[in-house]
Amino acid sequence: MNRFDGVKVLLTGAASGIGRATAIRLAAEGAAVYAVDVSEPGLAETAAAAGGPGTVATRVADVTDEAAVVAAVAGAAETLGGIDVLVNVAGVHKTTPIETLTVDDLHRMFSVNLVGTALFCREALKHLPDRTGVIVNTASLAATQGNPFMTAYAASKGAVLAFSLSLAAELAARRIRVVPISPGAVDTPLTRAPGMFPDGLDLTYFSKIRSYYGAAEPEHIAAAIAFAASSDAAYFTGADLRVDGGAHT
């Protein structure tokens, strides 16, 4: 099912986890993917893992660096011959009890999760075609459901969600769709990283909001992103697409 034959996709956060799974999925469906991440080795692994009929080109860039974002988007448009779809996956996650929350924590969360997303949207809109252009931004279930020790992360993803809904309204006249995706728990290198939860935290609250399906695999989220970015979702815009195994119910 090559829904993305001839479709040119700019994808951030492509070096691992959801971003890598999305690059692989879209290339498998025929897309020409321009994959961006701060990790050059990770991008190389993604490109090696992706098969045809689509293609994956890579670029190393820091999403918090405005000049690097401007150059990356211009590079994508030149390499691909345009941009049809922007998918923002790049993000950071850190659990921090409020007593130890720092200004640096807040700056880092918002710089990567919100500012990076906003900058790529601003620049990609110079190239996205009216009536068929699509933006998919990765928010989180944490944006709308309380999670202990995630105040900074939840606030940054709530900002991504709010940004995306307002952007959808702003671009409605151009018929450019904007879809925020809100994954729940996902088994990725980011969530498995040492120190994800500091020692000594009481994590019993999470048992109340855990999906009976368990944590998602990155491929589950990639499938939802592929749907949102495809013509199958041509009437879907300005609404949060939750992919959380029913954890919000």
Q: Average pLDDT in the 26-51 region?
A: 97
pLDDT digits 0-9 by tens, 128-148 = 999 999 999 999 999 999 888
Candidates 2.30.33.40, 3.30.70.20, 3.40.50.720, 3.30.450.70; CATH matching 8-243: 3.40.50.720
At 248, the pLDDT band (50, 70, 90 cuts) reads: low
User: In Å, how far are 63, 138, 153 from 196, measured between CA atoms?
Assistant: 22, 20, 12
pLDDT of residue 195: 63
All structural domains of the chain with their residue ranges: 8-243
pLDDT of residue 29: 97
105/93 Cα distance (integer angstroms): 10
Q: What is the pLDDT of residue 92?
A: 95
110/152 Cα distance (integer angstroms): 8
Say whether 235 is catalytic: no
pLDDT of residue 209: 61
Determine how many CB atoms are found less than 10 A away from the CB of residue 73. 26
pLDDT digits (tens, 9 = 90+) for 101-121: 999 999 999 999 999 999 999
Residues 6+ apart with CB under 8 A from 230: 3, 4
Q: What's the predicted TM-score (pTM) here?
A: 0.93
**What is the per-residue pLDDT for 246?**
87
Q: What percent of the chain has pLDDT over 70?
A: 91
Q: Which two tokens stand for residue 89?
A: 């996956």
Q: pLDDT per residue over 73-85, tens digit each?
A: 999 999 999 999 9
Contact between 228 and 179 (Cβ < 8 Å): yes
pLDDT of residue 5: 97
- 219-247 tens-digit pLDDT: 999 999 999 999 999 999 999 999 989 88
Residues 150-174, mean pLDDT to the nearest whole number: 97
pLDDT in tens, 192-219: 666 666 666 666 766 656 777 888 899 9
Name the active-site residue from 153, 205, 212, 235.
Answer: 153
